[in-house]
Amino acid sequence: MRRKAWFDYLGITAGSLITALGLVLFLVPNKIAAGGVSGLATILHYLLGWPVGLTMFALNIPLFLAGLKVLGWNFGLKTLYGTVTLSLFTDGLALWLHAPTANALLASIYGGLLCGVGLGVVFRYGGSTGGTDLAALLFRHFLRISTGIGLLIVDALVIGLAGLTFNIELALYALLALFLTSRAIDTIQEGGGYAKAVIIISDYADTIARQVMEQLDRGVTGLAGRGLYTRQEREVLLVVVQRSEVSRLKDLVATIDPRAFVIVSNIHEVLGEGFRQWRG
């Protein structure tokens, strides 16, 4: 249990660092306030000259107290740690790093992706960096919506304020960055759709299953099925494979039964033997 806690805090540290890089290298220097507390801090930085990291920490205090009450002390400690590390990384890196581009489009793309990957890593290890990502987790807790969509809803208000503070064009770039951030968060948390689930309905289910296990070295699950039109009982096969194995599987099925009914669908995440292992 203690080992898992160490890995969690290490993951939160790495995620906070990646998020800070997105802010310092791309978003803040180009006045892209892509939502959240970081967006508000960016606006205040240009209006009042306040450091972004310290401003984020101050703005996070009330949200931290709310999250502590709802999500508990364990989450609260991780949130406090994530909030502090992100603030320190942001102000610390700003002293040494400079924006590699002044192109707002490139900044919004790379900044949005970096921040999304960083926040996704933080969330995956059970933490938060405070701000509206904490508000989004509260949304997820109460409304059962994805964290990325929660961020999209909450942060739209901040982008509107950025449009009034800077200009509409920068607000549009901020909206692009926010969209990329939300998609990156969901990809990191739910997986990138690297696996495929294949459902096979055939009169030769036993032969197909045996060949899949022998030639592809993949497990096959047999499900009881019945055609409602024909009233015929038959076995339905469920196979999970890597994307690179889909063509081989379809060729194998077609060779055995060209009349087989095959459904191929994306899977966000697979845990277990032959795929990603459970994190202890």
pLDDT digits (tens, 9 = 90+) for 186-245: 788 766 656 789 999 999 999 999 999 988 888 899 998 888 888 888 899 999 987 768
Reported as type and span, the H/E element at residue 261 is: strand 261-267
C-beta neighbour count of 234 within 10 angstroms: 14
Q: Go through 53-91 and write b for each residue having 16 or more CB atoms within 10 A of its CB, e for each that does not.
A: bebbbebbeebbeebbeebeeebbebbbbbbbbbbebbb
pLDDT tier for residue 4 given thresholds of 50, 70 and 90: confident
Instruction: Provide the angle, in degrees to the nearest 10, between the axes of the packed helices 73-94 and 2-22.
Output: 40
Partner residues linked to 276 by β-bridges: 271
Contact predicate 226/233, CB 8 Å: yes
Lowest mean pLDDT among 80-94, 180-194, 252-266: 180-194
Q: How much of the chain exceeds pLDDT 90, in percent?
A: 48
Residue 1 reports pLDDT greater than 60:
no
Please tell me the distance from the alpha carbon of residue 146 to that of residue 126, in angstroms, as a whole number: 15
- Burial of residue 258 (CB within 10 Å: 0-12, 13-18, 19+) is exposed
pLDDT tier for residue 19 given thresholds of 50, 70 and 90: very high
Sign of CA dihedral 42, 45, 51, 55: negative
Of the candidates 28, 37, 63, 237, the one whose C-alpha atom is nearest the C-alpha of residue 155 is: 37
The beta strand positions in 107-244, using DSSP E, are 195-201, 220-226, 233-242
pLDDT tier for residue 35 given thresholds of 50, 70 and 90: confident
Q: What is the pLDDT of residues 109-161, one digit of tens each?
A: 999 999 999 998 998 887 878 776 566 666 666 766 666 666 667 777 888 89
Q: What is the pLDDT of the chain when averaged over all its residues?
A: 85
Q: What is the pLDDT of residues 254-280, one digit of tens each?
A: 999 999 999 998 887 766 665 555 554
Domains and CATH numbers, the chain: 2-190 (no CATH), 195-267 (3.30.70.120)
Residue 69 reports pLDDT greater than 80:
no
Predicted local distance difference test score (pLDDT) of residue 99 = 95
